[in-house]
Amino acid sequence: MRVRLQAAAAATSLLLFLDPAHPAQQAVARGHVEVTFPESGAVVTGPTRIRGTYTDAFDIFIAFDAGFLHEVHTHDPQGDDDGTWHFDWDPAEHAGPVEIAVRGTSTADLHSRWALPVTVTVHPRLDPSSTPSLHAVPAGPRAVGVLSGGSRSESASGHRLDPAARALWVWESATQRLLTTPGARRVLAAFMDDPAVAPDPRRVLYLYADRGHGGWMLKDRPELYRSLIAWAHGRGWSVHALLGSGAYLAPMYSYERFHHKAVALMDAVLVYNVTAPSEARFDGVNIDIEPYVLPDWRHAPSVKTQYFDMLAAMMERKAASGQRLLVGPAIPRWLDDSAECRSISWRGARKTCAQHVQDIADYVALMDYRDVAGTSVGIIDQARGEIDYGNRIGKPVVIGVETGEVSSGDPETISFHEEGRTWMEAELARVMKAFAGEKSFGGIAVHHYDSWRTMRTVWSPGGVTWSSPVADSAPPAAPAGLSAAARDWQRIDLGWEPAADDVMVDHYEIHRSNSPDFEPDSSTLVNRIEGEYARDPGLLAGTTYRYRIIAVDIAGKRGPASAEVAATTPTGAGRRRMRIASIAITPAGSGAQGTLTLTDDDGRPVEGATVSGKFGGAAGRTFSGVTDASGVFRATSEDLHPPWTVIFAPRRIRAAGYYWASSLDVSHAAESSHTIRH
């Protein structure tokens, strides 16, 4: 059985949100989500079950006042992505008006569909110890003019944007390890210093400093950040606070009604710096708030100007503090030439969206996510507009590239993941040469540390990943605190505490069995997870499952298994089970073809089931189609150049009256290598 490594972090796919000011923009394509209770204007005085419906949608999430995303419970009797949902909400942390937003993913295009927002009024409980609402956070003063002119390429600590030095984004899970595990810092140092990784030095960290579901480490444990930043400065690196997260609705901060939350993010960094010694202060701020994923971004100029106002308010907050932080947002490569961004009036000037942002900020990190340097759609040409304007106003442009596996947009051309590190370095050398004489060129930033660290040199039998040279003398400890709870009749959710290791835990193995007191081995391994939370779907109803977790460190050492826990799925919804009876991948023409067969419990083929997923390894194409009368589905990758290694990985399988009992699959995915061109 091939087991895929899954990240436990919240998904960061593009969000499509419907601004209540533009109700006419409700999606007309397949995919619809609705809130049926409560209605807007309702008064909430205590715990409330919020209810709704969905059609041609899945992965339904809810959020309150642009806050964290929470998964709802769904009821889909026929298994056709058409049903009802509910979420039991305790509003104890809210008071006054609260905006409820609900999002689903369309089965047609995998883009988000949002219900019309519902605003209710929460009457707080008479409990003086209750947590105050974020409504109490005041908005910062607005900028009175465009903050442009002059170079702002140096921070208070003297760090400059060196075009020869690479930056890298470091997200939640990696930051957590760096804050709490000394060995993780040694691994990062080895990666940053290894010339085999890249010829250019790595000296800039965009370090996550925003909130998480477990709290806000920057506020709750500032001493951990002080230790980490001082250590990084001691190595000659600069550190920027990374703000924004896919775990909550950061794009909505662009709306004026939520600007106070964006300013509060900046305030958290400024307050931290005031209280930290000079050697432990942030050198800058990298803002990852992406308003262009909002559907009214394309049609409503006001959304763009509200975003500019948000950035200006954050910059004014910095200016008022007197701190010489370098502040720059991450922006997409098309913010200067897309039709909706070519001519926008803001504060008396008509410019492109990119130019307005460059005027406001100290620098921009251009998400120039392409996997080739040349051609009209390559990295160089796509950055030309921002580079030229940066030359005019004297501000840096950092060019960002992607190394992670992506599923949205056009995954075949967005990321270097499929091509590998060797190809990427050759293309980035062309980028460095093309912009070497540009005064605005601020270097290259790589998204992101974990995906770059685990990236293969090439997706072929000879490809390798970076190997840590840090001495590792002992395996990890057994994970503690393992819990298991049935989410519904076919899924159990697991959680546990981070395992200790003398260097760094790389991932966790999830082992499942129906037998008590089982010993984990290859037959019980069902998944590998980077974080400390896992979903185990595709189970059988009314069945008891037992779990144990094993931590694996960066050297590949496996620790002892956790204590065993058990959970029982409730009685099911009456749907029949279907499973993958066979799956394979073979060369086909200039690419690869994946083939699978679906059967029911009696071994009969399941016809008309919709299969969707994505090729992996050297291929990146997404696929979707239906099984034929023999229960067979086939998909073909893009053209490939041997040698290659390709993965065929279905991600959703659905058919009316059935559910995908993936726990019964012969395998969840197929992998194959090919070395000869036909």
Query: DSSP secondary-structure letter at 113?
Result: E
CB-side neighbour CA atoms (13 Å) of 142: 10
Q: What would the pLDDT profile of 558-577 be if each residue is shown by its tens digit?
A: 999 999 999 999 997 789 99
pLDDT at 18: 34
CATH number at residue 77: 2.60.40.10
Same domain, 536 and 596: no
pLDDT surpassing 60 at residue 134: no
pLDDT surpassing 80 at residue 131: no
293 falls in which pLDDT band (50, 70, 90)? confident
Domain boundary among 568, 593, 623: 568
Nearest residue to 330 via CA among 399, 256, 383, 411: 399
| Candidate from 116-125, 421-430, 519-528 with smallest mean pLDDT | 116-125
Same domain, 522 and 581: no
pLDDT surpassing 60 at residue 139: no
φ/ψ of residue 356, rounded to 5: -60, -45
Same domain, 240 and 322: yes
Domain boundary among 453, 480, 498: 453
pLDDT at 409: 66
299 falls in which pLDDT band (50, 70, 90)? confident
pLDDT at 128: 38
pLDDT surpassing 60 at residue 156: no
Same domain, 435 and 529: no
pLDDT at 677: 53
Is residue 649 one of the residues assigned to a domain? Answer: yes
Is residue 484 one of the residues assigned to a domain? Answer: yes
CA distances from 450 to 5, 310, 529, 535, 668 (A): 13, 30, 13, 21, 24
Residues 6+ apart with CB under 8 A from 382: 333, 334, 368, 370
Q: Under a CB-based contact definition with an 8 Å cutoff, are residues 153 and 282 in contact? A: no
* Mean pLDDT, residues 383-409: 94
Amino acid at 119: T
Q: What would the pLDDT profile of 535-547 be if each residue is shown by its tens digit?
A: 999 999 999 999 9
Cα–Cα dist 270/263, whole Å: 10
- Find the domain containing 530 and state its range: 471-568
Same domain, 302 and 408: yes
Q: What would the pLDDT profile of 50-69 be if each residue is shown by its tens digit?
A: 999 999 999 999 999 999 99
Average pLDDT value over all residues in the chain: 89
* Mean pLDDT, residues 150-164: 61
Q: What would the pLDDT profile of 338-369 be if each residue is shown by its tens digit?
A: 999 999 999 999 999 999 999 999 999 999 99
φ/ψ of residue 291, rounded to 5: -75, -20
Write the DSSP string, 402-418: E-S---SS-HHHH-STT
pLDDT at 154: 61
Is residue 13 one of the residues assigned to a domain? Answer: no
pLDDT at 6: 38
Is residue 466 one of the residues assigned to a domain? Answer: no
125 falls in which pLDDT band (50, 70, 90)? low
pLDDT at 55: 96
pLDDT at 159: 53
Same domain, 420 and 523: no
441 falls in which pLDDT band (50, 70, 90)? very high
Is residue 16 one of the residues assigned to a domain? Answer: no
Same domain, 321 and 178: yes
406 falls in which pLDDT band (50, 70, 90)? confident
pLDDT surpassing 70 at residue 195: yes
Same domain, 564 and 580: no
Instruction: Provide the domain count of the chain.
Output: 4
Q: What would the pLDDT profile of 499-529 be if each residue is shown by its tens digit?
A: 999 999 999 999 999 999 999 999 999 999 9
Which helix (H) or strand (E) segment is 529 a member of?
A: strand 525-529
pLDDT surpassing 50 at residue 107: yes
Q: Under a CB-based contact definition with an 8 Å cutoff, are residues 444 and 401 in contact? A: yes
pLDDT surpassing 70 at residue 396: yes
Lay out the sheet containing 483-488: strands in order across: 483-488, 491-495, 533-536
| Candidate from 122-126, 223-227, 437-441 with smallest mean pLDDT | 122-126
| Candidate from 12-16, 524-528, 625-629, 655-659 with smallest mean pLDDT | 12-16
Domain boundary among 568, 592, 624: 568
Residue with tokens 């954050």: 314
30 falls in which pLDDT band (50, 70, 90)? confident
pLDDT at 357: 98
φ/ψ of residue 430, rounded to 5: -65, -35
Q: What would the pLDDT profile of 461-494 be if each residue is shown by its tens digit?
A: 989 999 999 999 999 999 999 999 999 999 999 9
Cα–Cα dist 479/473, whole Å: 18
251 by DSSP, 3-state: which? Answer: helix
Is residue 310 one of the residues assigned to a domain? Answer: yes
Same domain, 176 and 320: yes
Is residue 17 one of the residues assigned to a domain? Answer: no
CATH number at residue 398: 3.20.20.80
Helix then strand count (H, E) for the chain reads 12, 36
Tokens of 482: 């393992």
The fraction of the chain above a pLDDT of 70, given in percent, is 90
CATH number at residue 660: 2.60.40
Same domain, 225 and 313: yes
Query: DSSP secondary-structure letter at 15?
Result: P
| Candidate from 225-239, 359-373, 606-620, 662-676 with smallest mean pLDDT | 662-676
Is residue 477 one of the residues assigned to a domain? Answer: yes
The residues facing 154 across adjacent strands are: 160
Cα–Cα dist 620/232, whole Å: 35
Same domain, 229 and 310: yes
Exposure letters 348-358 (e unless 16+ CB within 10 A, then b): eeebbbbbbbb
CA-CA-CA-CA torsion for 94, 72, 411, 27, nearest 10 degrees? Answer: -80
Same domain, 508 and 446: no
165 falls in which pLDDT band (50, 70, 90)? very high
pLDDT surpassing 90 at residue 158: no
pLDDT at 285: 98
265 by DSSP, 3-state: which? Answer: helix
Instruction: Specify whether the backbone of 589 is left (phi greater than 0), alpha (psi in -120 to 50) or beta.
Output: left
pLDDT at 155: 53
